[in-house]
Chains A and B, each alone.
Chain A
Amino acid sequence: MTYSAFRILKEALTGHKGWGPQWRDPVPQPDYDYVIVGGGGHGLATAYYLASKFDQGRIAVLEKRWIGGGNVGRNTTIIRSNYLLDGNEPFYEFSLKLWEGLERDLNYNAMVSQRGVLNLVHTDAQRDSARRRGNAMILNGSDAELLDADGVRAMYPFLNFEDARFPIKGGLLQRRGGTARHDAVAWGYARGADRRGVDIIQNCEVTGFRIKDGKVLGVETSRGYIAADKVGVAVAGSSSRVMETAGMRLPIESHVLQAFVSEGLKPTISGVITYGAGHFYCSQSDKGGLVFGGDIDMYNSYAQRGNLPAVEDVMESGISLIPALGRVRLLRSWGGIMDMSMDGSPFIDRTHIEGLYFNGGWCYGGFKATPASGYCFAHLLATDRRHETATAYRLDRFRRGCMIDEKGQGAQPNLH
């Protein structure tokens, strides 16, 4: 069923009786050409692009619970491509371009809203660094604009400009950045994949791989064995647990990141604002709630909830940037499990096992990458070659000395 204005009108006149489920609930087949492990944003996008842009083979997505229930349903919905390094920026710009055409491509309203992402700067050194990053973005075909303090003031007059310690000196603005409706991204990809014949199998946990002579034969699941020519794993925070069953140790630690939403307010914050002196980023949803977050909790965790010190730190950062937040009541908070890599950059790569592919290490920046991650992973699965924007995301890059460390923090995952 294709969605359109005509369709809405027709359903409105006929009592909305014609809307069916958006995807099927198929019984797992004994074998597939491709099995994607993980029904999150990246896994569903991979299946969608495999089916629509690459191989027309038989594809299944296996999800241990319900699709879109992990990090794609838990993030702060920001999309942007404001990276510095050559290994990253072309990839994220490719992703932003896919976001721009996503809704037409999927025939689904993902509420992609290019409302602008503003990274504030508070010192001369930060301004230099922002200028350099902006130039790197422009060189890679993206957009960037350096604002002075008056430029920022014109957009957001309520920020704490005259703070004695961290005065706002300006900001790097990416106008094409913005937000998207996170759940609709998962659902849109699921529906798009399903319409192209992909089996989306929920409540089907992968418990191991069947491997013979260095080649993957299929996956063991809670619903029985499923054979596959190629298996792609995209399970974010569970990466180490899943790949351990294939005998791999990954350059990844799992950490918990909390996010928050306030009570609904009248339109206040038109775009996305990030604080340069603390770790805080904030936007306002179309329902009116302020959506914001900050640092991870800093310790390894598989619990999808965090502790109060991180909550306090985010609130302090928020109020020091936007003093008016002091009067706002917090509605909800939640946690998600981040696959923090050793250099803060992701992996889209083959493994030493033939037919087994890995996608992970997205740290807490995976949402914006969803379209390109799916596209590039599908490209790798279908052609066995890396997509031109994802050549650097190799698992052996630490051995080769080719880290992609945007922040220059070294092999300390909780600092990325």
Chain B
Amino acid sequence: MIINHPILGPRDAQEFTYLGDANLIDRPDWRAENAIKAFHDYLHLRDNPAGEHRELWFHEQGDRSWLVVTRDTLTHEITSVELARDVARERGRGK
């Protein structure tokens, strides 16, 4: 697989390590009432879709950036690659 890095251009997927579902960006609030349940679900449960999947890849052998890759789990086709930083900021993280 080739991952089209937003900064570096097309890179072999071998340069990356895979973490998993991009929902891992949405870390629950530890102060919330239901924090224990929220962290259980966050850590252990997955949608695991057959089809389009947004997922986190780490460019370990490159610029060490985190990417959100949108990939089809049935065909392995990659349709979009974003910097995880941008995605996280859009979702209101890091303020």
Interfacial residues, chain A to chain B (CB-CB below 8 A): 238, 240-241, 244, 249-254, 298-303, 307, 309, 342, 398-399, 411-414
CB distance from A284 to the nearest CB of B (A): 30
Question: How many Å lie between the Cα of A303 and that of B75 in the bound state?
Answer: 6
Question: How many Å lie between the Cα of A298 and that of B14 in the bound state?
Answer: 11
Question: Quick one: given A300-B73, A303-B73, A307-B1, are A252 and B55 in contact (CB under 8 Å)?
Answer: no
Instruction: Give A313's nearest chain B residue, CB to CB.
Output: B14
Residues of chain B within 8 A (CB-CB) of A302 are: 50, 73-74
B43 touches A250 (CB 8 A): no
Closest A-B pairs by Cβ, 6 of them? A240-B48, A302-B50, A398-B44, A249-B45, A251-B44, A309-B14
Residues of chain A within 8 A (CB-CB) of B33 are: none
A299 touches B55 (CB 8 A): yes
Residues of chain A within 8 A (CB-CB) of B18 are: 298-299, 414
Interfacial residues, chain B to chain A (CB-CB below 8 A): 1, 12-14, 17-21, 40-41, 43-50, 53, 55, 71, 73-76
Most B Cβ at <10 Å: residue of A238, A251, A300, A302: A300
Residues of chain B within 8 A (CB-CB) of A413 are: 20
Residues of chain B within 8 A (CB-CB) of A299 are: 13, 18, 55, 71
Instruction: Out of B21, B40, B46, B75, name the residue touching A250 (CB < 8 Å).
Output: B46
Instruction: Out of B43, B47, B71, name the residue touching A411 (CB < 8 Å).
Output: B43
Instruction: Out of B13, B21, B43, name the residue touching A307 (CB < 8 Å).
Output: B13
CB distance from A181 to the nearest CB of B (A): 30
Residues of chain A within 8 A (CB-CB) of B45 are: 249-251
CB distance from A352 to the nearest CB of B (A): 13
Question: How many Å lie between the Cα of A324 and that of B73 in the bound state?
Answer: 36
Question: How many Å lie between the Cα of A399 and that of B40 in the bound state?
Answer: 6
Question: Quick one: given A303-B76, A307-B76, are A250 and B14 in contact (CB under 8 Å)?
Answer: no
